[in-house]
Amino acid sequence: MSLTFILGGARSGKSRHAEELIERLSPPWTYIATAQAYDDEMVERIALHRSRRPAPWQTLEAPHDLAAAIANLPSRQPVLVDCLTLWLTNRMLADADLAKEGDALLAALSAHDGEVFVVSNEVGLGIVPDNALARRFRDAQGRLNQKVAAEAQRVVFMVAGLTMPVKG
Amino acid sequence: MSLTFILGGARSGKSRHAEELIERLSPPWTYIATAQAYDDEMVERIALHRSRRPAPWQTLEAPHDLAAAIANLPSRQPVLVDCLTLWLTNRMLADADLAKEGDALLAALSAHDGEVFVVSNEVGLGIVPDNALARRFRDAQGRLNQKVAAEAQRVVFMVAGLTMPVKG
Amino acid sequence: MSLTFILGGARSGKSRHAEELIERLSPPWTYIATAQAYDDEMVERIALHRSRRPAPWQTLEAPHDLAAAIANLPSRQPVLVDCLTLWLTNRMLADADLAKEGDALLAALSAHDGEVFVVSNEVGLGIVPDNALARRFRDAQGRLNQKVAAEAQRVVFMVAGLTMPVKG
């Protein structure tokens, strides 16, 4: 595995940057979407993301079993996971053991022999949320981001569509 | 146009840094305030900001028609726009077409033949807001920040009153 | 005083990084905890933090009178203050004069003749909070962070457990 971790806020250009990075490699590329269309707003967001990815992109949806989707990738195929924040949301709402699933995800990422690009949100830089679920999510996201960043060869922090190097 | 974009969180020293940068240039300098005094808290904030700017500052208020204010600047006059976040808030509450107005703003900035310093907030690094309006604002702010950053010659990210270079 | 300021979001690895830095120095080290156990969630967090710090750590609790705790440290003893955000929360809830107390804290930090490591949260990078108390806290935290960063010899911004240099 060679892992690039693209971290940033909402609408900071994370997905676009990840797509630009992977498109420098030989196609085909796999796009693993973790979004689940709960409501119209989300349906619209997914459609917007999809419209940016014509062939030779191959799109998989893995709102829940992300580790299995990664484990089943063709050998050496470059993959973009977009994004950990939606996946973690889905797994928290499904009442999963987030620490354990984070470890399984890391193991699957490490086992893939192609280039991996992982997108995630930094969500801990605002005021402490009022409700306990949001606080729990924020903690889980921070811990997962730390795990992925520790394994990554390259980490960038996105601000206003631009990259700030963090590692590698 | 030569554009410097100063991005950061609340109370990160953005305005003060922008003022320090522009005061290195020959006066007079124009300060375009976008704040609108909705309540006492805001009135207090505006007064605080004003008290830091004696002559040779020339202050304009442009809570809504920011592009026109920029278009009407004297040739070569250095200008500080403080800030895009309050302007975008005013325009969203006025139900404006934010994408279109963002493009018009960028065009006005590009057409000015003096040094431009633009202050804006990064607002996307917390937990997803509960209400849809806040989510819509966060998206609009992120998109606008990306547009400005793409055109800027220099972008800095402020943390605790200090600058982190992002571009230029 | 030689001051290192470790700033970042929730679960960004601030405390762990600060502990790694201080443990490079000769023991013993003083850990000043500012947390106050309001509820079970907080009790759990404090226990988790404590479990990471065996002897030769000496732990002091200073949820309120942080300046006095620093003033009473043995000469030349390295100290970790974890963290300013909880201390500021405690002082705001106690209706203290936050600007004045911030200055007193800075004076105490400056007077200590050993290495000082201070941890704090950046909380201003999300959407404007709905309630006035949270907005006031966010402003006070930003101002305090600016004061500490201005005095510090080194400032780092933590993202996903990794450090981004800001100063020094």
User: Which DSSP string do the residues of A156-168 spell out, in sequence order?
Assistant: EEEETTEEEEEE-
Give the pLDDT band of residue A132 (cuts 50, 70, 90): very high
Q: Which residues of B are annotated as a binding site?
A: 8-15, 33-35, 50-53, 61, 82
Q: Which domain holds residue C71?
A: 2-167
**Mean pLDDT, residues A88-116:** 97
Predicted pLDDT of residue B55: 76
Half-sphere exposure of C138 (CA within 13 A, CB side): 23
By mean pLDDT, which of A53-62, A72-81, B149-158 is the weakest? A53-62
d(CA C97, CA A115): 53
CB distance A161 to A11 below 8 Å: no
pLDDT exceeds 90 at position B1: no
What does the longest C-alpha to C-alpha distance in chain A come to? 46
Please name the residue of chain B whose CA is at the shortest distance from the CA of residue A162.
B166
Give the pLDDT band of residue A55 (cuts 50, 70, 90): confident
Predicted pLDDT of residue B120: 98
CB distance A114 to A76 below 8 Å: yes
Q: How many domains does chain A have?
A: 1
Q: Which one of B17, B49, B64, B112 is the catalytic residue? A: B49
Give the pLDDT band of residue C75 (cuts 50, 70, 90): very high
Mean pLDDT of chain A: 94
Angle between helices B98-111 and B132-151 (to 10 degrees): 20
Predicted pLDDT of residue C47: 76
Name every chain B residue with its beta carbon within 8 A of the beta carbon of A8.
124-125
**Mean pLDDT, residues A123-146:** 97
Give the pLDDT band of residue A1 (cuts 50, 70, 90): confident
Predicted pLDDT of residue C50: 72
Name every chain A residue with its beta carbon within 8 A of the beta carbon of B149.
159-162
pLDDT exceeds 80 at position C35: yes
**Mean pLDDT, residues A61-90:** 97
Q: What is the DSSP letter of B12?
A: S
By mean pLDDT, which of A74-78, B84-88, C50-54, C141-145 is the weakest? C50-54
CB distance C137 to C22 below 8 Å: no
pLDDT exceeds 90 at position B3: yes
Q: Which helix (H) or strand (E) holds B159?
A: strand B154-159
d(CA A78, CA A114): 5
pLDDT exceeds 80 at position B160: yes
pLDDT exceeds 80 at position A66: yes
Give the pLDDT band of residue B34 (cuts 50, 70, 90): very high
In chain B, the percentage of residues whose pLDDT exceeds 90 is: 86
Pull the structure tokens for residue A48.
């917007």
Yes or no, beta carbons of B129 and C127 under 8 Å apart: yes
Residue A5 has phi, psi (to 5 degrees) of -110, 120
Specify which residues C3 forms β-bridges with.
C116
pLDDT exceeds 80 at position B53: no
d(CA B6, CA A80): 31
Q: Does A129 touch chain B (CB under 8 A)?
A: yes
pLDDT exceeds 90 at position A80: yes
Which chains, if any, share at least 3 CB pairs under 8 A with chain C? A, B
pLDDT exceeds 90 at position C151: yes
Please name the residue of chain A whose CA is at the shortest distance from the CA of residue C40.
A132
pLDDT exceeds 90 at position B51: no
Give the pLDDT band of residue A54 (cuts 50, 70, 90): confident
Please name the residue of chain A whose CA is at the shortest distance from the CA of residue B140.
A11
CB distance A11 to B146 below 8 Å: yes
d(CA B7, CA B158): 6
Give the pLDDT band of residue B76 (cuts 50, 70, 90): very high
Q: Which residue in this structure is represented by tokens 């942080």?
A: C66
C residues 90-119 lying closer than 8 A (beta carbon) to B: none
Residue B72 sits in a domain whose CATH number is: 3.40.50.300
**Mean pLDDT, residues A36-65:** 80
**CA dihedral angle for residue A12, residue A18, residue A20, residue A22, rounded to 10 degrees:** 180
Q: What is the DSSP letter of C55?
A: T
Highest mean pLDDT among A62-71, C28-37, C45-54: A62-71
**Mean pLDDT, residues B19-25:** 96
**CA dihedral angle for residue C142, residue C143, residue C149, residue C155, rounded to 10 degrees:** 0
User: Of A83, A88, A127, which to mutate for an interface test with C (greatest number of C Cβ within 10 Å)?
Assistant: A127
